[in-house]
Amino acid sequence: MVILHTFTKIRKYMLVQKFGGTSVGSAERIKEVARLIHTGQPKIVVLSAMSGTTNSLVEIAGYLYKKNHEGANEAILNLEEKYHTVIDELFESDAYKAKGRELIQSHFTYIKAFTQDMFTLFEEKAILAQGELLSTALMHYYLSEQHIDSVLVPALNFMRTDKDGEPDLFYIKENLQREIENNPGHHIYVTQGYISRNAFGEIDNLKRGGSDYSASLIGAAIQAEEIQIWTDIDGMHNNDPRVVDNTHPIATLSFDEAAELAYFGAKILHPASVQPAKIANIPVRLKNTMQPEAAGTLIGNKSEGKGIKAIAAKDDITAIKIKSGRMLLAHGFMRKVFEIFETYKTSIDMITTSEVAVSVTIDDTRYLNDIVEELKKYGTVEVDQNLSIVCVVGDFIAESKGYALKIFQALENISIRMISYGGSKHNVSLLVNTADKKEALVSLNQNLFEHV
């Protein structure tokens, strides 16, 4: 009880600050992040791996699966070399340069050991964890060389998923609190994003881009004052800046709007990362490390502004159509269809029905063949791939008149495979061929934001 009470006092004004791969992508960037976190306010700093590292580790694991030891060794040495350059540029004193070299040696000796053994998913996860372990240790050393006090809190001691692969919130909360209470009186607690343990205690991760999810789970676990996601752009933009020119940051978004955008492809946030913050009602602020003075985006429980706010797109979508004139309107048919997806733990993103057919979309195709085989019991089944969901997000109830027209006008030259409108007041989703995605996003941008 006493311990919990102390913790309640600490967490009241605690921040969570997450810095992504580009934000810690070089010695220079690590120094800049150190300046941004050294504010005096108590915080948990969540770091991604330095940019490019996780991709390299994925590549190394790929070589090891194929038993291409030469390829793996070359990729490992290249990555190790990059870290030696970082050490040279990051630390001032010989003592810290030596500590940095030792750190790198220990992680790379660990990675190299896998080239001799059998390689399974377990070894892959262990390799993928090295990026965040390295970046956080480097930050901790750099802070300490600068005489800035910090504590390294291992995420593998508290971040955990359950047997369904979902975060085990109770475990995370208990164990994170314990980690902090065992190290009282510090202002900066540094931990790894992305990495976790699974229900068996093995090293695992929260999937690519998962550091945002870590930050949100940590924020919820400590009831943080705010969760800040620091990245390489000045907030959530109104369209995908990788595809469309003339996008702009959105000042405020509701949790639901942000969750829809993240889920439907706005890469700035991991698809699941809004949910824990929303449930705990903790504001999420998106900030630009390269331009800290920019306002960014504040995500909270209020939606400000009316009408259409943003567009996102999610690729690699598969549509499945089940055609069954005889059975579709019979009650119980939909349940049977959904049960098949449930059995194979495959979630459905979009759904549309007609009198003779039902179409759904999925993004996880691991069990596609099994699902299709089972669905065939209920009618003819057609599968379409290489599709993208274009998702238009905003407050459609407030001023919904005319928006549908603008959306469809923008897409007049694009064939639309499915439409979902009215599922929530925040979202209109359209399924198009991925080949048409860019044209759809550009044209929607012009019709919805540029000619208003």
Nearest to 441 by CA among 300, 287, 207, 247: 247
Q: Judged by CB under 6 A, does residue 196 bind ligand ASP?
A: no
210 binds, among ligand ASP, ligand ADP, Mg ion, none (CB under 5 to 8 A by kind): ligand ASP
Q: Judged by CB under 6 A, does residue 309 bind ligand ADP?
A: no
Q: Judged by CB under 5 A, does residue 276 bind Mg ion?
A: no
Q: How far is the CB of 51 from ligand ASP (least distance, A)?
A: 8
Q: Judged by CB under 6 A, does residue 193 bind ligand ADP?
A: no
Scanning residues 39 to 68, which ones bind ligand ADP (CB under 6 A)? 48
Q: Judged by CB under 6 A, does residue 260 bind ligand ADP?
A: no
In the set 124, 132, 226, 240, which binds ligand ADP (CB under 6 A)? 240
Q: Judged by CB under 6 A, does residue 296 bind ligand ASP?
A: no
CA separation (Å) from 406 to 117, 152, 414?
58, 51, 14
Q: Which stretch binds ligand ADP (CB under 6 A): 83-91, 236-244, 351-359, 406-414?
A: 236-244
Tokens of 63: 């070589």
Q: Judged by CB under 6 A, does residue 379 bind ligand ASP?
A: no
Q: How far is the CB of 37 from Mg ion (least distance, A)?
A: 18
Pairing mode, if any, of strands 357-362 and 307-323?
antiparallel
Q: Judged by CB under 6 A, does residue 25 bind ligand ASP?
A: no
In the set 25, 42, 167, 209, which binds Mg ion (CB under 5 A)? 209
Residues 357, 312 contacting (CB under 8 angstroms): no
233 binds, among ligand ADP, Mg ion, ligand ASP, none (CB under 5 to 8 A by kind): ligand ADP
Q: Judged by CB under 6 A, does residue 268 bind ligand ADP?
A: yes
Q: Judged by CB under 6 A, does residue 266 bind ligand ADP?
A: yes
Q: Judged by CB under 6 A, does residue 244 bind ligand ADP?
A: no
> What are phi and psi for residue 6, nearest 5 degrees?
-60, -45
Residues 247, 238 contacting (CB under 8 angstroms): yes
Q: Which amino acid is at 259?
A: A
Q: Judged by CB under 6 A, does residue 221 bind ligand ADP?
A: no
Q: Which stretch binds Mg ion (CB under 5 A): 16-24, 166-174, 189-197, 426-434?
A: 16-24
Tokens 């940095």, located at residue: 100
Q: Judged by CB under 6 A, does residue 194 bind ligand ASP?
A: yes
Question: By beta-carbon distance, which residue lies closest to Mg ion?
Answer: 209
Size of the site for Mg ion (CB under 5 A): 2
Q: Judged by CB under 6 A, does residue 271 bind ligand ASP?
A: no
Q: Which stretch binds ligand ASP (CB under 6 A): 34-42, 48-56, 119-127, 337-345?
A: 48-56
Q: Judged by CB under 6 A, does residue 167 bind ligand ASP?
A: no
Binding residues for ligand ADP, rule: CB under 6 A, are 20-23, 48, 209, 231-233, 236-237, 240-242, 266-268, 312
Q: Which residues bind Mg ion (CB under 5 A)?
A: 20, 209
Which residues sit at the interface with ligand ASP, rule CB under 6 A? 20-21, 48-49, 54, 131, 193-194, 208-211
